[in-house]
Protein backbone atom coordinates (compact mmCIF):
# COMPACT_ATOMS: atom_id res chain seq x y z
CA UNK A 1 0.00 0.00 0.00
CA UNK A 2 1.36 3.43 -0.98
CA UNK A 3 1.52 6.10 1.68
CA UNK A 4 -0.31 9.35 1.02
CA UNK A 5 2.04 12.16 0.04
CA UNK A 6 2.01 15.57 1.67
CA UNK A 7 3.79 18.75 0.69
CA UNK A 8 6.51 19.88 3.07
CA UNK A 9 8.13 23.31 3.18
CA UNK A 10 11.79 23.17 4.18
CA UNK A 11 13.13 26.54 5.26
CA UNK A 12 16.78 27.15 6.19
CA UNK A 13 17.18 28.91 9.52
CA UNK A 14 19.64 31.73 10.13
CA UNK A 15 21.99 29.50 12.15
CA UNK A 16 25.42 29.42 10.54
CA UNK A 17 26.91 26.03 9.81
CA UNK A 18 29.81 24.62 7.81
CA UNK A 19 27.39 21.92 6.62
CA UNK A 20 25.95 24.38 4.09
CA UNK A 21 29.07 23.93 1.96
CA UNK A 22 27.88 20.35 1.32
CA UNK A 23 24.67 21.39 -0.41
CA UNK A 24 24.04 23.02 -3.76
CA UNK A 25 21.21 25.24 -2.51
CA UNK A 26 20.35 27.18 0.62
CA UNK A 27 16.83 28.40 -0.06
CA UNK A 28 13.28 27.47 0.86
CA UNK A 29 12.07 24.43 -1.05
CA UNK A 30 8.99 22.26 -1.19
CA UNK A 31 9.10 18.48 -1.11
CA UNK A 32 6.40 15.89 -1.81
CA UNK A 33 6.86 13.07 0.68
CA UNK A 34 4.91 10.87 3.08
CA UNK A 35 6.46 12.45 6.17
CA UNK A 36 8.94 15.07 7.35
CA UNK A 37 11.86 12.65 7.66
CA UNK A 38 11.38 11.44 4.09
CA UNK A 39 11.15 15.09 2.96
CA UNK A 40 14.47 15.91 4.65
CA UNK A 41 16.13 12.81 3.17
CA UNK A 42 14.91 13.63 -0.35
CA UNK A 43 16.26 17.18 -0.03
CA UNK A 44 19.59 15.90 1.31
CA UNK A 45 19.94 13.41 -1.57
CA UNK A 46 18.86 15.82 -4.30
CA UNK A 47 20.90 18.81 -3.13
CA UNK A 48 24.22 17.18 -2.30
CA UNK A 49 27.06 19.02 -4.02
CA UNK A 50 28.62 17.15 -6.90
CA UNK A 51 32.03 17.20 -5.14
CA UNK A 52 30.51 15.71 -1.97
CA UNK A 53 29.25 12.71 -3.98
CA UNK A 54 32.84 11.58 -4.47
CA UNK A 55 33.43 11.33 -0.72
CA UNK A 56 33.19 7.64 0.31
CA UNK A 57 31.71 8.31 3.76
CA UNK A 58 28.66 10.41 2.99
CA UNK A 59 28.76 13.61 5.04
CA UNK A 60 25.82 14.80 7.05
CA UNK A 61 23.56 17.23 5.19
CA UNK A 62 22.17 20.44 6.69
CA UNK A 63 18.74 19.42 5.31
CA UNK A 64 18.65 16.61 7.91
CA UNK A 65 19.30 18.92 10.88
CA UNK A 66 16.15 20.43 12.48
CA UNK A 67 18.26 23.26 13.93
CA UNK A 68 19.38 24.29 10.43
CA UNK A 69 16.17 23.64 8.48
CA UNK A 70 12.57 23.99 9.65
CA UNK A 71 10.14 21.48 8.13
CA UNK A 72 6.43 22.26 8.13
CA UNK A 73 3.51 20.73 6.29
CA UNK A 74 2.16 22.98 3.56
CA UNK A 75 -1.55 22.82 2.78
CA UNK A 76 -1.72 23.64 -0.93
CA UNK A 77 -3.66 21.50 -3.38
CA UNK A 78 -1.61 22.75 -6.35
CA UNK A 79 1.16 20.31 -5.43
CA UNK A 80 -1.15 17.26 -5.35
CA UNK A 81 -0.39 16.82 -9.08
CA UNK A 82 2.95 15.33 -8.03
CA UNK A 83 2.11 11.76 -7.06
CA UNK A 84 5.72 10.57 -6.56
CA UNK A 85 8.08 11.71 -3.79
CA UNK A 86 10.16 14.59 -5.17
CA UNK A 87 11.82 17.93 -4.49
CA UNK A 88 10.02 20.86 -6.12
CA UNK A 89 12.04 23.88 -7.22
CA UNK A 90 10.92 27.37 -8.07
CA UNK A 91 12.13 28.55 -11.48
CA UNK A 92 15.13 30.60 -10.22
CA UNK A 93 16.20 27.88 -7.79
CA UNK A 94 16.23 25.22 -10.51
CA UNK A 95 19.21 26.82 -12.23
CA UNK A 96 21.06 27.26 -8.94
CA UNK A 97 20.50 23.63 -7.96
CA UNK A 98 21.66 22.15 -11.28
CA UNK A 99 24.97 20.32 -11.15
CA UNK A 100 27.16 18.42 -13.60
CA UNK A 101 26.28 14.80 -14.36
Cα(7)–Cα(72) distance, integer angstroms: 9
Q: How many residues does the chain have?
A: 101
Question: In the chain, what are the domain boundaries?
Answer: 6-97
pLDDT tens for 5-46 read 999 999 999 999 999 988 888 999 999 999 999 999 999 999
Q: Quick check: 47 and 20 in contact, CB under 8 A?
A: no
To 5 degrees, how large is the angle CA 51–CA 53–CA 55? 85
pTM, two decimal places: 0.79
| Strand ranges across the sheet with 69-74 | 69-74, 6-12, 29-33, 86-88
Q: Of the given ranges (39-53, 68-82, 87-101), which has the lowest mean pLDDT?
A: 87-101
pLDDT tens for 48-58 read 876 555 566 66
Amino acid sequence: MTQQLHTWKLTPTELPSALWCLTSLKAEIRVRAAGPLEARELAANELVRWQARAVPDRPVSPWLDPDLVACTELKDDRFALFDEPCVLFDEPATAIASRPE
